[in-house]
Amino acid sequence: MDTLVNEALNNIIAWVAPKNKTYGTSQSLTNRICLAIGINGVGRYVYFECLFAKLSIEMQPDVRHYIQLVNDIRQKRIDLAKEPKTKRKRQTKFYKLLEERIELAKKECCKREGAVYAPGVGLNGDNTGSKLPFV
């Protein structure tokens, strides 16, 4: 199973049917879910072309242009995300953030355990930051 496809479908469904709205017993939720599945399955342009044909509605040129434009933008974004250069950049960013989070977690762990560096630790038998006197 590919979890990215599942996540993409979940995102589209959450976009057309937000969780903070109640669609309860209405047909609205079913319509919205069907819309999300159709767009995810065949693409926005093909889906709306079929929908207009089934409803026997002629798609106006400006509507056709807009849907095609939105579809092309989505397709370019998907194609760009699949390129090796983009994948390398995404993985580099991921590992950089992961290293930063690991470093932060180590510092937080040391703070909780009391093993924190402070200036002057161990001088004159205390850890208050006292310094050696100049001679």
Domain ranges of the chain: 58-109
pLDDT tens per residue across all 135 residues of the chain: 456 778 888 888 888 888 788 777 678 888 888 888 888 888 889 999 999 999 999 999 999 999 999 989 988 988 998 899 999 999 999 999 999 999 999 888 888 877 666 565 555 555 555 454 544
**pLDDT value, residue 118:** 59
Per the listing, tokens 């038998």 go with 125
**pLDDT value, residue 123:** 58
Dist. CA 131–CA 119, nearest whole Å: 8
Tell me the helix, strand and coil percentages in the chain, rounded to 5. Answer: 70, 0, 30
pTM greater than 0.75: no
**pLDDT value, residue 62:** 95
Q: Which helix H or strand E contains 51, and what residues bound it?
A: helix 44-54
Q: Across the chain, how many H-helices and E-strands are there?
A: 5, 0
